[in-house]
């Protein structure tokens, strides 16, 4: 079966700071409240998760994730309000892209 897919990338001055895997990481941070929990859930290393966050925070106009020190579990991570705003925007874009893709996948003749 032939199918067309579209991968969304949100960029600032040509540098991507948000794509599918990064939104998954942000959503897992919301669920778990920590970067280590989110990394475990996505089956990636803590180092890999940290590198992705670092990249996002540096490229985006404002940090998307705020690291919190201390506490019972030795610190956590939470999404900034800008992070929440961009996650919502990504969902809206994703819905529009999915709608177009399903139209294209009906019409496609390959």
Output 68 or 93, the one with its CB closest to a copy of itself. 93
| Contact positions with a copy of itself (CB under 8 A) in 2-41 | 2-13, 16
Find how far residue 62's CA is from the centre of its chain. Answer: 15
The smaller minimum CB distance to a copy of itself, of residues 61 and 74, is found at 61
d(CA 18, CA 44): 17
CA distance 78 to 32: 9
CB proximity list for 31: less than 8 A, separation 6 or greater? 37, 38, 41
- Residue (of 38, 19, 3) closest to 87 by Cα position: 19
Which of 71, 85, 91, 98 lies at the binding interface for a copy of itself (CB under 8 A)?
A: 85
Candidates 26-34, 37-45, 66-74, 85-93; binding stretch for a copy of itself (CB under 8 A): 85-93
The encoded tokens of residue 4 equal 């067309």
Q: Which of 21, 31, 93, 102 binds a copy of itself (CB under 8 A)?
A: 93
Is residue 65 involved in binding a copy of itself (CB under 8 A)?
no
Tokens of 78: 């939470």
Q: Which residues bind a copy of itself (CB under 8 A)?
A: 1-13, 16, 61, 85-86, 89, 93, 96-97, 100, 104, 108-110
């Amino acid at each position: 079966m032939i199918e067309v897919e579209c991968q969304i990338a949100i960029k600032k001055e040509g540098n991507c700071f948000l794509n599918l895997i990064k939104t998954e990481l942000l959503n897992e941070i919301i669920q778990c409240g920590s970067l280590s929990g989110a990394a475990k859930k996505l089956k990636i290393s803590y180092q890999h998760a940290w590198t992705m966050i670092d990249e996002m925070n540096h490229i985006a106009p404002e940090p998307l994730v705020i690291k919190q020190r201390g506490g019972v579990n030795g610190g956590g991570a939470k999404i900034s309000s800008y992070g929440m705003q961009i996650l919502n925007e990504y969902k809206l874009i994703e819905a529009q892209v999915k709608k177009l893709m399903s139209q294209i996948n009906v019409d496609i003749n390959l």
